[in-house]
Amino acid sequence: MSNKNTNFSTSRRRLLKGLGMVGLLPAIPTIAANTSGHAGHVIVVGGGFGGATAAKYIKRGNPKIDVTLIEPNSTFYTCPFSNLVLAGERSLDSIGHSYEELKSVFGVNVIHAFAEDIDGVAHKVTLSNGSVLSYDRLLLSPGIDMRWNAIEGYDEAASEKAPHAWKAGNQTLLLRKQLEDMEDGGTFVMSVPADPFRCPPGPYERASLVAHYLKQHKPRSKVLILDSKDNFSKQGLFTSAWKDIYGDMIEWVGVSGDGRVVRVDADKREVETEFGTLHSASALNIIPPQKAGFIADRAGVTNESGWVPVNPNTFESQQVADIYVVGDATLAAPMPKSGFAANTQGKVAAAAIVASLAGITAPDPYWANTCYSLVNPDYGISVAGVYKVEDNQIITVPGSGGLSAADASLEIRQAEAAYAVGWYEAITQDTWGTQY
């Protein structure tokens, strides 16, 4: 892993200063390593923010538990900061993370394969390499799948021509290429789905950073956001920053202005909206409606919404015993579908799994979340919240969190951009690394 900013202690300090969050990490009961016996086998499916965190924290909670992590890719590219890659401000390598430290330092058994099926009754997982593994507890953090064809004409093949770039890696590079190939004076068109979807402020950060690139390299170009909603995360902050920094380069059209895209022609790079307006694009980014990763369906833990209802105290499935689900795949609102949320949920589920295998009660959970967005690389804004369980539902702790001030100085925006970098270093270390 290589990073622009490798001063971890500084970034850690910045993060803590920015959030005052050291006390917010859920406590994991550390089980005194038993001298003998089988402490149980946990399979974790998905080595992203939720799954890698859970695998590591189960091992930290009780090293005697066997933990097997199933993840097809040997390098995980984070969606956080992938908008900087898109804008040419970072390399794809700099947002790649390997599983080496989980293996060598924490003793997680990592298998690079795809989980294809789950039998919750028999407690078995079938892998793409043909093997069948048994578990005592299963944790799924499969992230999202796209709802192909929810928008007419937008299927997996179309996503090669009109990338979603809503999973980082090759998709990010495809969209980057379209942006690089775009002529000066062209339009970057982005279609944004209705809630709920992965990373509510993500599309608007992307629009900002695309504009940042265009302003320097293709200043006559435009960014057009066609939205299926009438309001969006940090709207006031984004809108006024766009005006200040990018003039009228970014245009946002909400659902009531005919912003909902209903048809895509990926070959022609053309979209049609609900009331029949056609827009043609030089670069076309379709962020389609989403659902829990398909393996959640196979496990029988999703409901009619396509997402996974969980017991908020433990993140165990409401539908199938011994299966825990965290991250974007879950119905955890008011917690957003963010990497930060997936990471803290992974810790809560890890604590619950360690406790349940030891036959003790899990500690009361609480979670924190901060979503930083960069309007340009030196201009950050954020929204934060702290969450707890009340009446068996997750709620926002009254009075917690909030938005960046609307009238903050440029120095504060700059400091928040630095905190965002600190946040990134800290969370990726906390998830895949050993630094903290």
Partner 1 sequence: MSVRSILAAFALVSCLPAIAQTTNDWQRVAPLAQAVNSEVVLSKGIDITLPLVAENGAAVPLRVNFDTSQLAESEFIRSIRVFSSGNPNAEVIDFHFEAPFSRIELSTRIRLSESQKVFVLAESNQGRQWLSQRDVRVTVSGCLMTGDDSVDAAVMSSPRIALPRNARSGEAAEVRTLINHPMETGFRETAAGEVIPQQLVESLTIKQNDQPILLVKFHTGTSANPFVSAFLDEVDNLLFRWEDQLGEHIEEKP
Ligand X SMILES: Cc1cc2nc3c(=O)[nH]c(=O)nc-3n(C[C@H](O)[C@H](O)[C@H](O)COP(=O)(O)OP(=O)(O)OC[C@H]3O[C@@H](n4cnc5c(N)ncnc54)[C@H](O)[C@@H]3O)c2cc1C
Residues making contact with ligand X (CB under 6 A)? 45-51, 70-73, 76, 79-80, 82-83, 114-115, 141-143, 166, 198-199, 202, 206, 293, 295, 327-329, 337-340, 342, 371-372
Report, in Å, the least distance between residue 156 CB and partner 1.
24
Report, in Å, the least distance between residue 372 CB and ligand X.
6
Instruction: Pick between residue 199 and residue 211 the one whose CB is nearest to partner 1.
Output: 199
Token digits for 317? 């499935």
Residue pair 337/328 in contact by the 8 Å Cβ criterion: yes
> Which of partner 1, ligand X, none does 331 bind, CB closer than 5 to 8 A by kind?
partner 1
* Cα 37 from Cα 26, distance rounded (Å): 28
Could you check whether the bond before residue 334 is cis, i.e. omega within 30 degrees of 0? Answer: yes
Continuous H helices in 182-322:
202-217, 235-246, 294-298
> Which of ligand X, partner 1, none does 293 bind, CB closer than 5 to 8 A by kind?
ligand X
Token digits for 402? 């909030």
Q: Is 215 left (phi over 0), alpha (psi -120 to 50) or beta?
A: alpha
- State yes or no: residue 180 binds partner 1 (CB under 8 A): no
> Which of partner 1, ligand X, none does 40 bind, CB closer than 5 to 8 A by kind?
none
Rounded to 5°, angle at Cα 110 from 104 and 111: 150
Report, in Å, the least distance between residue 352 CB and ligand X.
17
Residue pair 133/125 in contact by the 8 Å Cβ criterion: yes
> Which of partner 1, ligand X, none does 61 bind, CB closer than 5 to 8 A by kind?
none
- Residue in the block written with tokens 């979209």: 271
* Cα 62 from Cα 431, distance rounded (Å): 17
Count of Cβ atoms closer than 10 Å to residue 98 Cβ: 16
- State yes or no: residue 239 binds partner 1 (CB under 8 A): yes
- State yes or no: residue 274 binds partner 1 (CB under 8 A): yes
What H or E segment, with its residue span, contains residue 252? strand 250-253
Report, in Å, the least distance between residue 417 CB and partner 1.
18
Report, in Å, the least distance between residue 55 CB and partner 1.
25
Options 333, 389, 415, 418; binder of partner 1; rule CB under 8 A:
333
Options 32, 33, 157, 406; binder of partner 1; rule CB under 8 A:
406
Q: What does the CA dihedral 159, 164, 169, 170 come to, rounded to 10 degrees? A: 30
Residue pair 175/283 in contact by the 8 Å Cβ criterion: yes
Binding mask 8-27 for partner 1 (x = CB under 8 A): --------------------
- State yes or no: residue 130 binds partner 1 (CB under 8 A): no
* Cα 310 from Cα 316, distance rounded (Å): 5
Options 358, 383, 421, 426; binder of partner 1; rule CB under 8 A:
383
* Cα 187 from Cα 296, distance rounded (Å): 37
Report, in Å, the least distance between residue 133 CB and partner 1.
32
Options 30, 104, 216, 305; binder of partner 1; rule CB under 8 A:
305
Coil/strand/helix, residue 209? helix
Instruction: Pick between residue 181 and residue 390 the one whose CB is nearest to partner 1.
Output: 390
Number of residues that bind partner 1 (CB under 8 A): 48
Q: What does the CA dihedral 242, 175, 420, 380 come to, rounded to 10 degrees? A: 0
CA–CA distances in Å: residue 210 to residues 73, 249, 255, 318, 408? 27, 10, 22, 41, 23
> Which of partner 1, ligand X, none does 102 bind, CB closer than 5 to 8 A by kind?
none
Report, in Å, the least distance between residue 21 CB and partner 1.
14
What H or E segment, with its residue span, contains residue 373? strand 366-376
Report, in Å, the least distance between residue 327 CB and partner 1.
15
Find the part of the chain contacting partner 1 (CB under 8 A) among 25-33, 68-76, 301-309, 427-435.
301-309
Interface with partner 1 by CB under 8 A: which residues? 194-196, 199-201, 229-237, 239, 255-258, 274-276, 303-305, 331, 333-336, 338, 369, 371, 383-385, 387, 390-391, 393, 395-396, 398, 401-403, 406
